[in-house]
Amino acid sequence: MTQGPIQPAYDPQAHGTGIVHLGLGAFHKAHQAACTDAALAASGGDWRIIGVSLRSRAAVDALNGQDGRFTLIERGEGGTARIIASIARGLTGADGMGPILAAMTAPECRIVTLTVTEKAYGLDRATGGCDPAHPAVAADLRDPAHPTGVLGLLVRALSVRRAAGTAPFTVLCCDNLPSNGRLLRGAVVDAARRTDPALADWIAAKVAFPSSMVDRITPAATAETWAEAAALTGRPDPAAVETEAFHQWVIEDDFPLGRPDWEAGGAIFVSDVTPYEDMKLRMLNGAHSMLAYAGFHAGHRFVRDVITDPALSRLVLRHLRAAGATLGPLPGIDIDAYTDRLMRRFANPAIAHETFQIAMDGTEKMPQRIFAPALAARAAGQDLRPFAFAAAAWMRHVAGATHDTPPYDLRDPRAAEMRAALGAGGSVAAALSALPGIVPPALAADPAWQAPLREMLEAMLTTPMAEVLHREAAAI
Ligand code: CS2
């Protein structure tokens, strides 16, 4: 990268806001904000973004200190740097929810987008509704007029709009959940129904919740990101983000109040996003989770190091092929080419993506990434071993064994529950398989699943992971 960054090809001040985004992290800045920036440059419109961080102040202060602008460094495959100007300003829940609700209830807000991570919603995937035991959901059901969490904010903002006769915004979930729009719709309607049934009916009838598949590998920004952005722009940029060159956004086209020209930023509009979501969640994210657990315990700090480990790299390829074999037809997609591309993206030497970061929140990730494709493979009579391997690596991580790894934190919203289950005696596999809502019972009970899972987990709990990987790869 020798030239300075590419500047916005439009006058940001000439465009009003039309989107409130919840979850102002690196991923949003690298993905939806970048795509909206391209849309503004190509076709204009009042579609700038008010970015909300529900808890943190630092990210918001950094952005507001520079008029919402930030440097996006795109690395590898022709990497470059761009100044993104689509975010008008940031708001933080640390200052109270009043200004956030005001932004969400203003008539000009026509879309609310979300990247808050899987665990922040408080979804009950078994019922398809909300989880009333989730701390934020519980607090917001007790006091719906003063929400603190994601569902509570959406319900309250929609309630205020309804009372004021303002048309509802479209809710666009951009988290890595299967049928994310449908899941969020179910949770929002359920949360509303528990306090205001008429509002629930109105939301069910009037609010659009298109699903979307999002993809761009975006590690957490570090001091090096900021130093590089400063070198490129000639001024400090504590809001800079780095990401890969690749990006993909597949969206269901259901935006009653309009939307930006996101096609200009490469987005694809389809009538049903499910097959694309399955492909991405099972292949990219499934392989990511598998390699994060196996790689972390084999001493690999970054994903790129995993791909230079011949044994683990073969296992990643085995996983991608097994996951790809569970998918239905995908018009316009060549799964072999997608697999090759994923291997190259994981290997990108310019992206420092920590295995430990991906290993977080396994209880929220494993169902759609590993167990759903394992069930599909079982139904099709395919080999379950690649999925059982990934499950064993997750269980080994949860068990906290330190024979091959220095002590580490288990970062998971259900960590305490899992520790209690493990402390109650019995085998690690049995204890973790019995956690509600994680391993589908039909899979857990199948000997064709249990036998390889138990065998590989036993090996991972007693032998260095590097040795287990070597043996497993040699048997492919
Ligand atoms: C990763 C994802 O952290 C994780 O769990 O698997 O964030 C992944 O990098 C993105 O989904 C890529 O689009």
Distance CA 357, CA 122 (A): 21
pLDDT at 395: 98
Distance CA 17, CA 154 (A): 18
Residue 251 DSSP one-character state: E
Residue nearest to atom 5 of ligand 1 (CA): 358
Tell me which CATH code domain 274-474 carries. Answer: 1.10.1040.10
Q: Which helix (H) or strand (E) holds 188?
A: helix 180-193
CA torsion angle 270 273 277 279 (round to 10):
-60
Q: For ligand 1, what atom is nearest to the CA of residue 216?
A: 13
Q: Is ligand 1 within 6 A of the CB of residue 345?
A: no
Cβ-based burial of 264 (10 A; exposed 0-12, middle 13-18, buried ≥19): middle
Q: Is ligand 1 within 6 A of the CB of residue 75?
A: no
Contacts of 443 (CB under 8 A, 6+ apart): 371, 374, 375, 378, 449
Q: What is the 3-state secondary structure (H, E, C) of 105-148?
A: HCCCCCEEEECCCHHHCCEECCCCEECCCCHHHHHHHHCCCCCC
Q: Is ligand 1 within 6 A of the CB of residue 216?
A: yes
Q: Using most ligand atoms within 8 A of CB, pick from 285, 293, 341, 369 the residue to mutate for ligand 1.
A: 285
pLDDT at 3: 66
Query: What SS3 class is residue 51?
Result: strand
Q: How far is the CA of 267 from the centre of ligand 1 (A)?
A: 18
Tens of pLDDT along the chain (476 residues) come to 446 899 999 999 999 999 999 999 999 999 999 999 999 999 999 999 999 999 999 999 999 999 999 999 999 755 689 999 999 999 999 999 999 999 999 999 999 999 999 999 999 988 999 999 999 999 999 999 999 999 999 999 999 999 999 999 999 999 999 999 999 999 999 999 999 999 999 999 999 999 999 999 999 999 999 998 998 889 899 999 999 999 999 999 999 999 999 999 999 999 999 999 999 999 999 999 999 999 999 999 999 999 999 999 999 999 999 999 999 988 889 999 999 999 999 999 999 999 999 999 999 999 999 999 999 999 999 999 999 999 999 999 999 999 999 999 999 999 999 999 999 989 999 999 999 999 999 999 999 999 999 999 999 999 999 999 999 999 99
Residue nearest to atom 6 of ligand 1 (CA): 285
Q: Is the domain covering 12-270 a CATH 3.40.50.720 domain? A: yes
Amino acid letter, residue 7: Q
Q: Is ligand 1 within 6 A of the CB of residue 215?
A: yes
pLDDT at 78: 58
pLDDT at 79: 63
Note whether 183 and 176 are within 8 A (CB): no
Model confidence, pTM: 0.97
Listed residue (184, 200, 202) closest to 129, CA to CA:
184
Residue 428's alpha-carbon distances to 47, 368, 435, 455, in angstroms, are 50, 21, 11, 12
Residue 474: alpha-carbon gap to chain centroid: 33
Say how many C-beta atoms besides its own lie within 10 A of residue 450's C-beta: 17
pLDDT at 1: 44
pLDDT at 436: 94
Strands (E), 140-200: 170-173
Note whether 110 and 20 are within 8 A (CB): no
Amino acid letter, residue 354: E
Contacts of 101 (CB under 8 A, 6+ apart): 147, 153, 156, 157, 160
Distance CA 2, CA 343 (A): 27
Domain ranges (residues) in the chain: 12-270, 274-474
